[in-house]
């Protein structure tokens, strides 16, 4: 009997029901799309900011103070200050391995060209790095600085070759030596060909880059590197992140250790590389956090505004559907239905509409937020699965809440009054 | 007479109209909020990138060891922030150390990422020590660092994770005098607003053909791409939400007509022409839409201001949300149009209503 009532109500006025369901669906779609986009935008911007290069620098623990200006050393580095190349993959074995997007080891030296000292850097350009756990990922300068562009071509160093004779010159250096891609020059007394010319605006513009193993051979520092640049996805630092970890208590320390703050990632790198010191590059790391905080905060507030609106819409639609049916309620009351029965009847109807509308809206919203990230970021992101059931439950609850107040009012009124008004 | 009908309709069905009003006002509020944020998100986001410091560097070209100091004034004239730096080798005891001459007043905005323990600037006879320098020579705040060219009192200890950690920062004039720089610097760092970078670069390169003016591509391009993406994300979301909320409102406005079949029947029975009845409903919704859009717009500005204040609270200028006619006009236009279309769509029923059937109660 009860179910027949509900079914009849829907069959008798399908258009009105469809409109109510449609309204709930639209509201839920807004909510889902906003929540999905909010999560997506923060993530994407974080990755986008990573194109600024490394935010952590790992250098050997040193007893002497490096004295260099623009890559030229005015004091030779001590022989025992290096990080063994074999230890580099260990960085990919720390707790936050997955947040390390790229790393680039390098070795620095200088040579004389045309009567002046020129810094030469031995680097990995782009190669697969096999982590201790067997997974492999892209590493090297190009993995770290994806926006770098080159005139000529990059050096393909996927296969190690200590005899290779290609080098890459910084734009300012190439200009002052009047060299183009394809030109020949001598480095450390050996002939090299210029493969490409790199222009970044930074210190790279004055340098020559060669394969790491080539510079190891030329300088006789086999198996050594003296810097590792690391790019890590981090959580913006807050007051908690800036506390001194050595003064933290057990549980607090665990929480700090298990949060991808730049400082805790640096700490974990120091744990696996005891001969080295990892330091956050403040210029990149701090601003990254700041920009990210603003973007996330903005998206959160926009999402809240949209959620409030969606809830209000659903609320008002449900209130209207009850308001419209005061006459029916009066008839039911007049024919002896108890208030509880009527409330359950309407509640079931409203809940059904909220559920259906919420489901349709959530599914549409997921598509919409995917379309938004496709348009904006060119990547089809997918919001978390949990979003759909969450939105459905909330939509149903808001629909019920919207219907509750007008229903109570309708039940409190004298049926005779409403019936006479209508007649 | 016509307007009395409209006003009376508003008066007698206050509750029902209030719901329709609220629905539309909320849509207008959200649209205003989002489009206002979109309008100046670029300016606000670019401001956030100032913390990254310089995005242009003027370096000496190969044939000269220095950059003329005039470059600083020229860059400032072009509306950029600029500061000269001198790098030289100094001595402490028998060890060498890099001494940087910094024009602290000018360099302030370019070095906001420095983490400094103590003061950010140093006067005559004072200096800032990089964290590695301080650790290496065992000096702390307030102690004297025995530079060979004259001891200085450490006013602050700088930690950046970069080259500054290994340097001693002294006032620019002192470094210039010590290293023999006259009206020149080792390097000039420039921060131009993101959208001006290339213009400033071209102008400076033209003015100083003897220097090498470089754009720090990573910073300039990341800024451009992040700002663009956040901006377009807000725009697309604004469109989606505005579309959806106005759709919701159409239902409300159609219902305003559909509910009143009885009244329409009576009006027709006493001889009112259909067009006149439709006009009646249309003016009712237009009045409603107009009032709710204005209310929504005002509320939307307030919300946008509040969001701006919460997120970008650093400066008064960043908080400001302007009244943009370019936002108001489309919001107003679309809401009125949607309300009109919804009403007219429902009003098409007026022609099909048979007064006799309706009045008999069917």
Lowest mean pLDDT: which of A144-158, A277-291, A374-388?
A: A374-388
On whether the CB atoms of residues A31 and A354 are closer than 8 A, the answer is no
Q: Tell which residue, A230, A282, A274, has the closest CA to residue A100.
A: A230
Q: Do B240 and A372 lie within an 8 Å CB cutoff?
A: yes
CB-based contact, B53 to chain A, within 8 Å: yes
CA-CA distance, B101 to B83, in Å (whole number)? Answer: 11
E strand map for A226-369: 227-232, 276-280
Strand partners, A213: none
Q: Do B95 and A305 lie within an 8 Å CB cutoff?
A: no
On whether the CB atoms of residues B282 and B340 are closer than 8 A, the answer is yes
CA-CA distance, B82 to B185, in Å (whole number)? Answer: 12
**Average pLDDT score over chain B:** 82
Size of the A and B interface in Cβ pairs below 8 Å: 223
Angle between helices A282-324 and B217-258 (to 10 degrees): 0
pLDDT category at B335 given cuts 50, 70, 90 is confident
Q: Do B245 and A70 lie within an 8 Å CB cutoff?
A: no
CB-based contact, B48 to chain A, within 8 Å: yes
On whether the CB atoms of residues A349 and A10 are closer than 8 A, the answer is yes
Q: Which of A283, A299, A309 sits opposite B245 (nearest CB)?
A: A309
pLDDT category at A230 given cuts 50, 70, 90 is very high
Mutate to test the interface with A, among B33, B221, B241, B246 (most CBs of A within 10 A): B241
Tell whether the model's pLDDT for residue A197 goes beyond 90: yes
pLDDT category at A244 given cuts 50, 70, 90 is confident
Q: Do A52 and B41 lie within an 8 Å CB cutoff?
A: no
- pLDDT (0 to 100) of residue B306: 80
Higher pLDDT residue, B99 or A41? B99
Q: Which of B51, B96, B229 sits opposite A74 (nearest CB)?
A: B96
On whether the CB atoms of residues B287 and B10 are closer than 8 A, the answer is yes
CA-CA distance, B357 to B362, in Å (whole number)? Answer: 6
Q: Do B160 and A283 lie within an 8 Å CB cutoff?
A: yes
Q: So where are chain B's domains?
A: 2-48+224-360, 55-215
Which residues in chain B are closer than 8 Å to A375, comparing Cβ atoms? 232, 236
pLDDT category at A58 given cuts 50, 70, 90 is very high
- pLDDT (0 to 100) of residue A78: 63
On whether the CB atoms of residues B230 and B47 are closer than 8 A, the answer is no
Q: Which of A287, A324, A376 sits opposite B232 (nearest CB)?
A: A376
Mutate to test the interface with A, among B218, B225, B306 (most CBs of A within 10 A): B218
Tell whether the model's pLDDT for residue B250 goes beyond 80: no
CA-CA distance, A259 to A294, in Å (whole number)? Answer: 20
Token code pair at residue A131: 């982590």
Full-model pTM: 0.78
Beta strand pairing status for A190-198 and A166-170?
parallel
Find residues 119-178 of chain B whose CB sits inside 8 Å of chain A: 132-133, 136, 159-163, 165-166
Task: Give the pLDDT confidence of B46-93 residue by residue, as tens digits.
Answer: 878 888 888 888 888 777 778 888 888 888 888 888 899 989 888 888
- pLDDT (0 to 100) of residue A408: 84
CB-based contact, A237 to chain B, within 8 Å: no
pLDDT category at A229 given cuts 50, 70, 90 is very high
- pLDDT (0 to 100) of residue B323: 60
Task: Give the pLDDT confidence of B163-180 residue by residue, as tens digits.
Answer: 888 899 999 888 888 888
On whether the CB atoms of residues A48 and B226 are closer than 8 A, the answer is yes
- Nearest chain B CA: its distance from A354 CA (Å): 15
Find residues 275-294 of chain A whose CB sits inside 8 Å of chain B: 279-287, 290-291, 294
φ and ψ at residue A145, rounded to 5 degrees = -120, 75
Residue B138 makes CB contacts below 8 A (sequence gap 6+) with none
Find residues 54-83 of chain A whose CB sits inside 8 Å of chain B: 56-57, 64-70, 74-75
A129, B82, B84, B174, B359 from B103: Cα distances, Å: 44, 10, 6, 10, 89
Which residues in chain B are closer than 8 Å to A313, comparing Cβ atoms? 23, 26, 245, 248
Q: Tell which residue, A323, A243, A288, A349, has the closest CA to residue A11.
A: A349
Mutate to test the interface with A, among B161, B254, B315 (most CBs of A within 10 A): B161
Tell whether the model's pLDDT for residue A381 goes beyond 70: no
Q: So where are chain A's domains?
A: 2-46+292-422, 55-280
């Amino acid at each position: 009997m009860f179910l027949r009532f509900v079914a009849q109500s829907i069959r008798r006025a399908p258009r009105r029901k469809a409109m109510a369901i449609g309204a709930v669906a639209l509201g839920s779609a807004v909510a889902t799309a906003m929540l999905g986009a909010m999560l997506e935008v923060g993530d994407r911007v974080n990755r986008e900011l990573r194109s600024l290069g490394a935010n952590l620098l790992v250098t050997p623990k040193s007893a002497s103070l490096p004295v260099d200006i623009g890559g030229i050393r005015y004091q030779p580095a001590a022989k025992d200050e290096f990080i063994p190349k074999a230890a580099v993959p260990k960085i990919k074995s720390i707790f936050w391995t997955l947040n390390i997007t790229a790393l680039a080891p390098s070795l620095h030296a200088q040579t004389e060209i045309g009567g002046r000292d020129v810094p030469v850097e031995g680097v990995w350009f782009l190669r697969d790095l096999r982590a201790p756990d067997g997974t492999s990922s892209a590493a090297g300068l190009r993995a770290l600085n994806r926006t770098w562009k080159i005139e000529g071509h990059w050096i393909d160093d996927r296969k190690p070759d200590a005899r290779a004779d290609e080098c890459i010159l910084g734009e300012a250096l190439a200009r002052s030596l009047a060299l183009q891609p394809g030109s020949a020059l001598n480095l450390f007394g050996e002939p090299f060909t210029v493969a490409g010319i790199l222009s970044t605006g930074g210190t790279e513009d004055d340098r020559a880059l060669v394969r790491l193993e080539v510079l190891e051979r030329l300088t006789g520092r086999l198996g050594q590197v003296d810097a590792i640049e690391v790019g890590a996805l981090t959580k913006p630092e807050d007051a908690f992140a800036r506390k001194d970890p050595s003064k933290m208590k057990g549980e607090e320390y665990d929480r700090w250790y298990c949060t991808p703050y730049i400082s805790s990632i640096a700490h974990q790198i120091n744990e696996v590389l005891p001969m080295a010191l990892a330091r956050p590059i403040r210029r990149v790391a701090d601003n990254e956090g700041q920009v990210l905080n603003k973007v996330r905060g903005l998206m959160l507030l926009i999402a809240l505004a949209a959620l409030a609106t969606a809830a209000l819409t659903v609320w008002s639609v449900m209130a209207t559907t009850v308001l419209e049916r005061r006459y029916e309620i009066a008839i039911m009351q007049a024919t002896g239905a108890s208030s509880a029965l009527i409330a359950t009847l309407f509640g079931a109807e409203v809940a059904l509409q909220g559920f259906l509308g919420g489901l349709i809206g959530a599914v549409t919203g997921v598509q919409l937020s995917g379309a938004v990230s496709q348009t904006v970021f060119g990547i089809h992101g997918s919001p978390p699965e949990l979003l759909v059931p969450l939105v459905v439950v909330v939509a149903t609850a808001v629909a019920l809440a919207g219907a509750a107040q007008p229903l109570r009012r309708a039940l409190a009124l004298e049926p005779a009054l409403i019936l006479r008004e209508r007649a | 007479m016509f307007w009395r009908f409209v006003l009376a309709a508003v008066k007698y069905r206050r509750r029902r109209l209030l719901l329709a009003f609220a629905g539309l006002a909320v849509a207008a509020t959200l649209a205003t909020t989002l489009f206002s944020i979109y309008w100046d998100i670029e300016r606000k986001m670019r401001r956030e990138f100032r913390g990254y410091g310089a995005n242009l560097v003027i370096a000496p070209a190969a044939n000269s060891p220095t950059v003329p100091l005039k470059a600083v004034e020229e860059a400032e004239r072009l509306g950029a922030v600029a500061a000269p730096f001198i790098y030289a080798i100094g001595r402490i005891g028998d060890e060498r150390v890099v001494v940087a001459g910094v024009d602290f007043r000018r360099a302030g905005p370019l070095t906001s990422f420095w983490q400094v323990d103590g003061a950010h600037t140093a006067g005559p006879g004072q200096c800032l020590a990089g964290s590695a320098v301080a650790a290496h020579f065992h000096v702390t705040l307030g102690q004297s660092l025995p530079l060979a060219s004259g001891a200085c009192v450490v006013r602050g200890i700088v930690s950046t994770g970069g080259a500054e950690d290994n340097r001693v920062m002294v006032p620019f004039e002192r470094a210039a005098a010590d290293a023999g720089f006259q009206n020149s610097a080792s390097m000039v760092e420039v921060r131009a607003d993101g959208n001006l970078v290339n213009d400033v670069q071209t102008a400076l390169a033209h003015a100083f053909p003897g220097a090498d003016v470089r754009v720090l591509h990573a910073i300039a391009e990341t800024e451009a791409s992040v700002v663009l993406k956040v901006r377009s994300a807000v725009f697309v979301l604004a469109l989606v939400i505005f579309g959806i909320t106005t759709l919701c409102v159409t239902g409300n406005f159609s219902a305003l007509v559909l509910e009143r079949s009885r009244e329409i029947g009576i009006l027709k029975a006493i001889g009112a022409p259909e067009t006149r009845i439709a006009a009646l409903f249309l003016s009712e919704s237009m009045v409603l839409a107009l009032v709710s859009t204005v209310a929504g717009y005002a509320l939307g500005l307030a919300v946008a201001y509040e969001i701006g204040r919460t997120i970008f609270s650093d400066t008064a200028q960043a908080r400001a949300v302007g009244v943009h006619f370019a936002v108001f006009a489309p919001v107003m236009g679309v809401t009125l149009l949607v309300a009109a279309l919804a009403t007219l769509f429902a009003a098409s029923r007026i022609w099909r209503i048979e007064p006799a059937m309706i009045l008999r109660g069917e």
